Structure 1
Amino acid sequence: MNIDPGSFNNRSSIVYAMIDCNNFYASCERVFNPKLEGKPIVILSNNDGCVIARSEEAKDLGIPMGAPEFKFRRFFKDNGVVVRSSNYPLYGDMSRRVMEVLRNLTHDIEVYSIDEAFAELSTQTYSDLNEYGRVIKQTIYQWTGLPVSVGIAPSKTLAKIANETAKRNLTYKGVLNLCNNPGTDQILKKMPLQKVWGIGHNLTIRLNRFDVNTAYDLKQKVDYKRWVRKHLNVTGLRTVLELNGLPCMQLSEALESRKGILTSRMFGKPLYDLTEIEEAVSTYISRAAEKLRAQHSLASNMQVTLIGDKFKNPKSKYKYGAYTSFKVPTAHTPTLIHAGKQITRSIHLPETKYKKAAIMLTGLVHNSEVQMDLFDPELYTRQQYTLMECIDQINTRHGRNTAAFAATGLHRKNNEAVDWKMNQNFLSKRYTTEWEDIMIAQAR
Structure 2
Amino acid sequence: MSKHLLALVDVNSFYVSCERAFDPTLEGRPVLVLSNNDGCAVAMSAEAKELGITVGAPWFKLAPNAQRHGLVARSSNYELYGDMSHRFLQVIGEHSHEVEKYSIDEAFAGYGGPLQGAGPWAERIRRDIAERLSLPVGIGVGATKTLAKLANLAAKRVPGMRGVCVWDGLDAEYRDWVMSRLPVQQIWGVGPRSAKKLAAHGVTTAAALRDADAQFVRRLLGVTMMRTVLELRGQPCIQLEEEREFRDSLVFSRSFSTPVSTREIMAQVMASYAQRACTRLNSRSTEAKTLTAWAMTSQFNSAAEDSPSATLSLPAPTNDPVLLTRAAQALLPRMTEGTRYTKAGITLTDLSPRGAQPAFDLFAEPQQDKGIGPLLQQVREKSGTDAIGMGRGGMRTAAEWEMRREMMSPRYTTRWQEMLEVHAR
Q: Which deviates more from structure 2 when the two are superposed, residues 297-306 or residues 386-395?
A: 386-395
**Aligned residue in 1 for 2:203:** 212
* Corresponding residue number in structure 2 for 1:378: 365
Could you tell me whether the CA contact under 8 Å between 2:155 and 2:162 is conserved in 1? yes
Distance 2:405 2:25 in 1: 21
| Distance across 2 between alignment mates of 1:199 and 1:154 | 19
Partner of 1:269: 258
C-alpha deviations, 1:8-53, integer Å up to 9, x for none? xx9x721000000111110111111111110000000111111100
Unaligned ranges ≥5, structure 2: none
Q: Output the TM-score relative to the length of structure 1.
A: 0.89
Q: Is the 8 A contact 2:388 2:394 kept in 1?
A: no
- Is the 8 Å Cα contact of residues 34 and 75 (structure 2) preserved in structure 1? yes
Partner of 2:116, secondary structure, is coil
Structure 1 residues 91 and 198, CA, compared in 2 at 3 Å: closer, same or farther? same
Matches within 5 A, 1:131-280: 131-181=120-170, 182=172, 183-221=174-212, 224-255=213-244, 257-280=246-269
2:82 counterpart of 1:95: no
> Hey, what does 2:300 align to over in structure 1?
311
Deviations 1:192-227 (A, max 9, x none): 211211112211111110111111111002xx2321
Q: Does 1:405 align with 2:393?
A: no
| Equivalent residue letter for 2:179 | L
**Structure 1 unmatched ranges of 5 or more:** 1-9
Offset of residue 380 of structure 1: 4.1
Task: Show the counterpart of 2:418.
Answer: 437
Q: Is the 8 A contact 2:73 2:407 kept in 1?
A: yes
Verify: 1:39 aligned to 2:29, yes or no.
Answer: yes
What does residue 320 of structure 2 align with? Answer: 332
What is the match of residue 5 of structure 1?
none
- Counterpart amino acid of 1:355? T
The answer to whether structure 1 residue 15 and structure 2 residue 2 are counterparts is no
Segment of structure 1 superposing worse, 171-180 or 358-367:
358-367
**For 1:257, what is the secondary structure of its paired residue?**
coil
2:53 to 59, 63, 67: 63
- For the structure 1 residues 310 and 25, does the alpha-carbon distance in structure 2 shift closer, same or farther, using more than 3 Å as the test? closer
Change (3 A) 1:198 1:310: closer
Once residues 141 and 310 of structure 1 are traced to their aligned partners in structure 2, the CA distance between those partners, rounded to angstroms, is 42
User: Could you tell me whether the CA contact under 8 Å between 1:271 and 1:419 is conserved in 2?
Assistant: no
Count the aligned residue pairs. Answer: 423
SS in 1 for 2:244: coil
Name the aligned partner's letter for residue 198 of structure 2.
L
Residues 44-85 of structure 1 deviation map (CA, whole Å, 9 limit, x = unaligned):
011111110001111111101011111222232321110000
Alignment correspondent of 1:321? 309
Residues 248 and 350 in structure 2, CA contact (< 8 A), matched pair in contact too: yes
* 1:123 aligns to 2:113 (yes or no): yes
- For 2:192 and 2:288, locate their aligned partners in 1 and report how far apart those are by CA, in whole Å: 35
Aligned to 2:346: 359
How far apart in 2 are the matches of 1:282 and 1:169? 51
Cα distance in 2 for partners of 1:138, 1:180 equals: 20
2:63 counterpart of 1:73: yes
Find the counterpart in structure 1 of residue 409 from structure 2. 428
- Aligned sequence identity (%): 35
Contact 1:372 1:379 survives alignment (8 Å): no
* Deviation larger for 181-190 or 93-102: 181-190
Question: 1:388 aligned to 2:378?
Answer: no
- Alignment of 1:51 with 2:41, yes or no, is yes
Letter in 2 for 1:115: D
What code does the residue aligned with 1:140 have?
I
Q: What TM-score do you get using the length of structure 2 for normalisation?
A: 0.93
SS in 2 for 1:422: coil
CA RMSD of aligned residues (A): 2.1
